[in-house]
Structure 1
Amino acid sequence: MEAVLSGGPWFVNGHIIGMEKWTPKFSPLSLKGLTSRIWVRMLHLPLHCWDEKNISRMASMIGKPLMMDGNMFQWERREFARVSVRIKIDQSLPLGVWVESLSGRFF
C-alpha cells in the first residue's frame, strides 16, 4: 500500500493517476489540505537552464516537482519545458516565477 501511495504518479490507460491516503479529517466540502498534480509549461528558458536540476528548482517554486517530460531534452523539441508538480488546491498559482541566472533575472 505504501509503495502505491508514495510511488506515483501512475499511468493507467494513458492517464496519470495519483493517490493519497484517506484521513478521517477529510471533508468533500473543503479544499484545505487537498493537493493535485498538474503539468506546468515553462517557456523561453535560457539555454543554460535546460537541465533537470535547474528545471526542478524552478518547478519547486510552484509546487513539489514529481516528473519531467522526457521529450523536452531532445534538441528539436526545445520550445518549452514541461514538469508535473503537486500543488495545494486551496492556494492560487503564480503566473510565473523570477529566476536569477548567469545572464540576469528572467520571469
Structure 2
Amino acid sequence: MTSLGMNWILCPFKSEEAMEEVYNGGPWYVGRFIVGMDKWSPSFNPNSLKGITKPIWIRFPCLPLFCWDEENIARIASRIGVPMYVDGNLFRWGKREFSRVCIRLNLENSLPKGVWIDGMAGRFF
C-alpha cells in the first residue's frame, strides 16, 4: 500500500480476481469506520471528487410499517445511491424509530433531503 497524501491510499493487487474480491467483498472496516474503495482510473485527481464514491449511512425516519423489510429498504436506498449494508438492528422490535442503511454515494451528487416513494397507501416522501 502506498500513501498518496490527503487520506488517499493506493492498494496494488497481483490479479484482477483478487482486486474484484476485495472491491466487491465489503463493506470493510478500519476501527469502527467503513472504508470507501474505488477502482483507480488514469483520470484520478486527489483534488477532485469526479468519479469518487463514499460509503455513508443514511436514515429513513417514519417509514410505513410495510416498508420495514430488507428488500424495501434497499429499494428506497437505491434511489439515492448503491445499497451496501442494511443495519441489522433495525429489525429489532424496540428499534423502530428509523431504518439505517449504508449506501455508496457518488460525491459529485448532492445528498437529497428525501425521495418520493409509491406505496400501498399512495405516495410518501
TM-score of the aligned structures, taking structure 1 as reference length: 0.93
SS at match of 1:61: coil
Q: Is 1:60 aligned with 2:94?
A: no
SS at match of 1:29: coil
In structure 2, how many angstroms separate the alpha carbons of the residues matched to 1:12 and 1:36?
A: 14
Question: Which is higher, the Rg of structure 1 or of structure 2?
Answer: 2
Name the amino acid aligned to 1:75.
Answer: W
Name the amino acid aligned to 1:78.
Answer: R
Displacement of 1:12 in angstroms is 2.5
Deviates more, 1:2-11 or 1:66-75: 2-11
Displacement of 1:72 in angstroms is 0.3
In the other structure, the counterpart of 2:42 is 24
In the other structure, the counterpart of 1:7 is 25
Name the amino acid aligned to 1:24.
Answer: P
Does the Cα contact within 8 Å between 2:56 and 2:105 map onto a contact in 1? yes
In structure 1, how many angstroms separate the alpha carbons of the residues matched to 2:104 and 2:33?
A: 16
TM-score of the aligned structures, taking structure 2 as reference length: 0.80
Q: Answer 1 or 2: higher relative contact order, Cα 8 Å, separation at least 6.
A: 1
Deviates more, 1:88-97 or 1:9-18: 9-18
Counterpart of 1:43 (choices 61, 67, 76) is: 61
Q: How many residues align?
A: 107
Displacement of 1:91 in angstroms is 1.0
In structure 2, how many angstroms separate the alpha carbons of the residues matched to 1:9 and 1:67?
A: 7
In structure 1, how many angstroms separate the alpha carbons of the residues matched to 2:99 and 2:32?
A: 20
In the other structure, the counterpart of 1:89 is 107
SS at match of 1:45: coil
Structure 1 runs of 4+ aligned residues shifted over 3 Å read: none
Over the matched positions of the two proteins, sequence identity in percent amounts to 56
